[in-house]
Amino acid sequence: MLKSIAVMTSGGDSPGMNAAVRAVTRTALHQGVKVWGIRGGYHGMLDEDIFEMESKDVGDIIQRGGTFLGTARCKRFQTPEGRMLGYKNLVDRGIQGLVVVGGDGSLRGASTLSQETGLPIVGLPGTIDNDVWGSEYTIGCDTAANTILDAMNKLRDTASAHRRIIVLEVMGRNSGWLAMVAGISGGAEYILVPEEPFDLDEICESMKAEYEKGKRYILMVVAEGAGKASEIGPIVAEKTGRDTRVSKLGHIQRGGSPSVIDRVKASQLGEHAALAIISGLSDIVFGFNRGHVVSINLHDAVNNKKTLDPQFMRLAKVLA
Ligand code: ADP
């Protein structure tokens, strides 16, 4: 049994990270284990921004987006010397295990730290992109998808009024999950994702035909990894001859009060992470599979690429 653990958030922030940290902290305290919070991701580990937490430190945060611990991207942690310094700072405080909540990069860093030092580490997938291998869910993806859906509902009103084409760019550099689920739920006619090649000429021809058949407006969702709305929009306008507008949601997608799903799932994952690390388990990530919490090998999670469910791509085309 470990007696003292630390928890941190790292990389891109996502709504629900607070719920995860709260669950890790309160579960550990409930087990009589000391919990330390690390502020500002791996930066805080290296700069000794590490503090012991009580239950009240994680009060009044479950409803907040972002992460109260702060997060960062840290170049120094990518060097063996940086990681060794971080490890020393933890050991100096008697910290015996670490829970890292973050995306692909943060989990990769955690995996390397554990391999090099033997420090027990458990990861939780925290990213709006839902692109961590082995889990059907990552903390924050539901809130982000709902934020995009809300924007789509509003864009529909104005697109319809003017009979416009709207090209909406959403986050997802390597993963089209957000674009796909938001697009399907928002009734988008076209969804462009990095996982699937597309022919813009063909799409524009099809748009023209749709307008001729009486379509009032068209919504296209583009994952940033598939292209820039600012470049695709003018091409669509020129090739279709239709009034076209582009919209880029940007960082709005990362913020906001977490949804019920993100709060509950993050809490479940946080509890599992705390119990696992306390019991001495290491090098695992907790995620969801078919609605149940599962543990995934950390090495596998960071060395495999999650693919977009082909059922989504098929469904999006059938319903468009
Ligand atoms: P995310 O966790 O959201 O994918 P990043 O990819 O920016 O975000 O990673 C966050 C931080 O994790 C980086 O700034 C760095 O400190 C650490 N990190 C990322 N990749 C590695 C790696 N291969 N080795 C060590 N540390 C890494």
> Of all protein residues, whose CA lies closest to atom 12 belonging to ligand 1?
106
Residue 46 contacts by C-beta under 8 Å, 6 or more apart in sequence?
Answer: 74, 76, 77, 82, 85, 86, 89
Q: What confidence score (pLDDT) does residue 25 get?
A: 98
Q: What tokens appear for 16 in the block?
A: 């629900």
Residue 320 has pLDDT above 90, yes or no: no
Of 69, 20, 65, nearest to 287 (Cα)?
20
Catalytic-role residue among 13, 57, 129, 262: 129
CA nearest neighbour of 100 among 297, 284, 317: 284
CA 232 to ligand 1 centroid distance, Å: 31
Cβ pair 269, 287 in contact under 8 A: yes
Phi, psi of 154 (to 5 degrees): -70, -40
**Alpha-carbon distances, residue 37 vs 54, 60, 99, 189 (angstroms):** 10, 16, 10, 45
- Measured by CA distance, the residue closest to atom 16 of ligand 1 is 74
| CA–CA dist 94, 104 (Å, integer) | 27
Among protein residues, the one with the nearest Cα to ligand 1's atom 10 is: 11
- The atom number, within ligand 1, closest to the CA of 12 reads 3
The whole-angstrom separation of Cα 309 and Cα 189 is 19
Q: What's the CA gap between 168 and 148, in Å, rounded?
A: 9
Q: What is the pLDDT of residues 31-47, one digit of tens each?
A: 999 999 999 999 999 99
Catalytic residue flag (residue 129): yes
Q: What is the pLDDT of residue 49?
A: 98
**Token pair of 39 as six digits:** 């502020």
Residue 41 Cα to ligand 1 midpoint, Å, equals 10
Q: How far is the CA of 150 from the centre of ligand 1 (A)?
A: 30
38 by DSSP, 3-state: which?
strand
Residue among 9, 78, 298 whose CB has most ligand 1 atoms within 8 A, to mutate: 78
SS3 category, 186: helix
- Amino acid at the residue 8: M
The DSSP symbol for 242 reads: S
Closest C-alpha to ligand 1, atom 6:
105
**Is 0.75 surpassed by the pTM of this model?**
yes
Q: Closest Cα partner for 233 from 67, 185, 242, 141?
A: 242
Cα distances from 24 to residues 17, 36, 42, 199, in angstroms, run 11, 10, 18, 46
Nearest-atom number in ligand 1 for the CA of 43 is 16
Sheet bearing 244-248, strands edge to edge: 190-192, 218-223, 165-170, 244-248
- Is 90 exceeded by the pLDDT of residue 279? yes
Identify the pLDDT of residue 319. 94
* Tokens of residue 243, six digits: 């009034």
Question: Is 156:216 a contact under the CB 8 Å cutoff?
Answer: no
Q: How does the average pLDDT of the chain come out, rounded? A: 97
Residues with CB under 6 Å of ligand 1 are 10-12, 42, 73-74, 77-78, 102-106, 108-109, 112, 127
Mind listing the pLDDT tens digit for each residue in 115-160? Answer: 999 999 999 999 999 999 999 999 999 999 999 999 999 999 999 9
Q: Bridge-partner residues for 192, per DSSP?
A: 222
Given a cut of 90, is residue 213 above it in pLDDT?
yes
Please tell me the distance from the alpha carbon of residue 303 to that of residue 260, in angstroms, as a whole number.
30
d(CA 211, CA 247) in angstroms, rounded, equals 21
Residue of the CA atom closest to atom 5 of ligand 1:
105
CA of 105 to the centre of ligand 1 (A): 3
The predicted-structure confidence for 180-197, as pLDDT tens digits, reads as follows 999 999 999 999 999 999
